[in-house]
Amino acid sequence: MAILKDETNGTGLLKALNDSFRDLSGGRTAVLFSGGLDSSLLAALARPFSDLRLYTVGYPGSHDIEAGSSGARELGLPWEPIFLDDDALRSAVSCLRDRFGMNDPVSTSFEVPLYIACTSIAEAVLLSGQGADELFGGYARYSPLSISELGEAREKDLRRLLSEGLPREETIARDMGKKLSCPYLHPGVVEVALSIPPGELIGELGNKQPLRSLALGLGLSSARAPKKAAQYGSGTMKAMKRLAAERGMRVGTWAMEVKG
């Protein structure tokens, strides 16, 4: 099994993640929780540092709602589903477009769960697993790449996330009165992650091998779970395409014209 290349069998990453949680106040913290690897590992590790409550955004019966429910039971942490419906989706897409300048339907669909969570939760701080895919090779498009190509793609995607995606998400959260916390993007975690050779990101457990190894050590079933992107796991993109088709539109056109 390919694991982190350090003397203590991966604790360099574990220490960096634990250090990132010291920024938490110790009060109530919300977790944007899909039940997948990234958010489950964060919840398991952050529990000693804060009073956590898990929130899963999605259409009833969606993958994330089911995975969030079972993942919360496994962790023994309080969980609350935030159910989407078509009216809430229209409102979210309209606001993300008009208030935050988002006009790409794929990016918009990805940000809907964050926006909905920020408008729904009482907690001031929201913990997110953003950055795990870029740092640890989680995207499906990485699979056919050579080792050198994977390294280049990882660094390019990380630069784009830090310059575009993360500032946008921090703005969304801040405008909703929330603080977004992304432990995987903590400088210490980024430094450790980038020191891992690209060839060690994929191993016996699949992609994101370093995170899966930590999750396996904690006994989390998500250590072996396949990735499901937020826009698909929540049912958001499927609903956007359905609503667009009902109006005889492409989803991009629908997203530009929909009213909340």
pLDDT per residue as tens digits for the range 134-191: 999 999 899 899 999 999 999 999 999 999 999 999 999 999 999 999 999 999 999 9
25, pLDDT greater than 90: no
pLDDT at 16: 95
Average pLDDT over residues 204-211: 90
pLDDT at 230: 64
Q: DSSP states of the chain as a string?
A: -----STTTTHHHHHHHHHHGGGS-SSEEEEE--SSHHHHHHHHHHGGGSEEEEEEEE-TT-HHHHHHHHHHHHHT--EEEEE--HHHHHHHHHHHHHHH----HHHHHHHHHHHHHHHH---SEEE--TTHHHHHT-SGGGTTS-HHHHHHHHHHHHHHIIIIIHHHHHHHHHHTT-EEE-GGGSHHHHHHHHTS-GGGSSBTTBSSHHHHHHHHHTT-GGGGPPP--HHHHTSHHHHHHHHHHHTT--HHHHHHH---
3, pLDDT greater than 50: no
Residue 233: inside a domain, yes or no? no
| Domain CATH code at residue 192 | 3.40.50.620
Residue 91: inside a domain, yes or no? no
Give the strands of the sheet with 51-58, arranged side by side. Answer: 79-83, 51-58, 28-32, 125-127, 179-181
Residue 90: inside a domain, yes or no? no
Average pLDDT over residues 4-18: 66
Residue 155: inside a domain, yes or no? yes
Of the CA atoms within 13 Å of residue 52, those in its CB half-sphere come to 24
Average pLDDT over residues 69-87: 97
Residue 2: inside a domain, yes or no? no
pLDDT at 67: 95
112, pLDDT greater than 90: yes
Average pLDDT, the chain: 92
Q: pLDDT, tens digit, for every residue of 38-71?
A: 999 999 999 999 999 999 999 999 999 999 999 9
Distance from C-alpha of 147 to C-alpha of 136, rounded to nearest angstrom: 13
Average pLDDT over residues 244-255: 97
Average pLDDT over residues 189-210: 92
Percentage with pLDDT > 90 across the chain: 85
Confidence of residue 228 (pLDDT cuts 50, 70, 90): low
Residue 207: inside a domain, yes or no? yes
Joined together, the tokens standing for residue 164 give 């575009």
Residue with tokens 């998400």: 169
Distance from C-alpha of 156 to C-alpha of 158, rounded to nearest angstrom: 5
- Tell me how many domains the chain contains: 1
Residue 253: inside a domain, yes or no? no
106, pLDDT greater than 80: yes
Residue 59: inside a domain, yes or no? yes
Contact 148, 155 (CB under 8 A): no
Residue range of the domain that includes 155: 11-83+122-226
5, pLDDT greater than 50: no
pTM of the model: 0.92
Q: What angle do CA 29, 33, 35 make, to 5 degrees?
A: 140
Q: Strand pairing partners for 203?
A: 206
